[in-house]
Structure 1
């Protein structure tokens, strides 16, 4: 009995320490992110043709060869991660990727801030019960339902209909690309709001196990807002990126901030998209 009590006590203590560490880590990320946001306000923008640092894949718009995934390769519900694997920026197999490696690759490829690039893989690690500092993942691991993957995606059928979330849905993507009302048919924040509202209504009707919490609604708007932040809604670039998960030759991220797009500065775009959604 005493041994059982001791083990239980140790587990409770470890749980409390782990929760405290997570709180302190997130607080540190918030403070760090605010500092980077202020720095970006004062620092010059990166040149449009030099967003990717020299020495990294994609510098000068020169991307490694695109190879579509082969049987046995691992892919996720995230086009951005899949595209990096398809170009060999992440392992082409999509397997045994360290969270720290993912952090570095996202930052150099898309110019998201160090805080953003730490927070997302660290969140993934916690979701999967793994260590950000020591463990690895396969891309398909992050498609666990209602973790990062969620119903009513703009690029994937719900898992209720298509369990393999590594596959882009041509029907949904084609509809999205055709919905742009910006110059040249480019996608605007209002277009994304309308597309998401329509998609949520459709998913509720066709998915017998539909769920979409407030958290995942915001997560969906975050994913959609990436199309604006990283691609400026340009359909000519989004078409190969979403349908083939291929980075267009010569392309570089539209994010030109010196320290990348911070979590703080991204919130205005996310909220604009989410608050514009009418689910009817």
Structure 2
């Protein structure tokens, strides 16, 4: 009986959050955006483009498969040891740091609390715990080898990161490199093909693929695809100097708005094309030899 009540309550919470999110999406369309340098609220780390000192993690510190959460700990926005964080604190800090909508900031920590079988309202977690396989963490990540191959998901795989950044074909207004939606789709395609080959325990589902595209799409929304900003975030898990979220909407990035990026990224994934390209390259190499 308790499980039925819990599931029913969870259903109505989700309905409320999605309605709340859509209302914020509409409000963003009729309210002025934040000015440059003012996206992070006054009095919060990162306001006026000034971030706290970056301190790399030390032995014993807890880190997750998410570069952005790790960066928050590395800059002291979350506890530097990455431990005993409340889900409510995570909600608030993500909202202040990245300008996600409050609906978004509630939904994700609540989801994390649920898959860890903890209370969003009163319990705590360590960063490494949210790397539970096939919850938020998933195979074919763009910055981590699969958990079956590298159980510690707290550190980036620098080769994967550099392969990702090398996909950039776009240009920022100043001429510097930028990742685009097609670039990200191609990078995800390659990773899924390669992960299937290298990980005998590889798993994939529509849910995991959508989560992979969602995680990756923050590079395009919050970072504008800018390689200059993504390089320190993905390699060192730190904020670049004078960075701020490129989403300036008054009520932050809503899930409804985010899907305008996530869905095209996932629709553009074409693993069959990558498999054909790799087969053609292998055949050409064999012929040449």
- TM-score, normalising length: structure 2: 0.92
Per the alignment, residue 104 of structure 1 pairs with 92
Alignment of 1:1-280 (within 5 A): 13-183=1-171, 184-280=176-272
The Cα RMSD (Å) is: 0.6
> Cα offset for 1:268?
1.3
Per the alignment, residue 5 of structure 1 pairs with none
Q: Aligned partners of 2:101 and 2:116: how far apart in 1?
A: 23
Q: Aligned partners of 1:154 and 1:268: how far apart in 2?
A: 20
> Cα offset for 1:140?
0.3
Contiguous gaps of at least 5 residues in structure 2: 273-289
Deviation by residue 1:235-255 (Cα, 9 ceiling, x = unmatched): 000000000000112110001
Q: Aligned partners of 2:71 and 2:50: how far apart in 1?
A: 14
Q: Aligned partners of 1:61 and 1:162: how far apart in 2?
A: 35
> Cα offset for 1:48?
1.8
Q: Aligned partners of 1:267 and 1:191: how far apart in 2?
A: 17
> Cα offset for 1:229?
0.5
Alpha-carbon contact 2:177-2:228 (below 8 Å) kept: no
Contiguous gaps of at least 5 residues in structure 1: 1-12
Number of equivalent positions: 268
Alpha-carbon contact 1:179-1:185 (below 8 Å) kept: no
Q: Aligned partners of 1:155 and 1:240: how far apart in 2?
A: 13
Per the alignment, residue 10 of structure 1 pairs with none
* SS in structure 2 at match of 1:122: helix
> Cα offset for 1:161?
1.2
Runs of 4+ in 1 over 2 A off after TM superposition: none
Q: Aligned partners of 2:64 and 2:49: how far apart in 1?
A: 25
- TM-score, normalising length: structure 1: 0.95
Alpha-carbon contact 1:74-1:93 (below 8 Å) kept: yes
> Cα offset for 1:185?
2.3
* SS in structure 2 at match of 1:42: coil
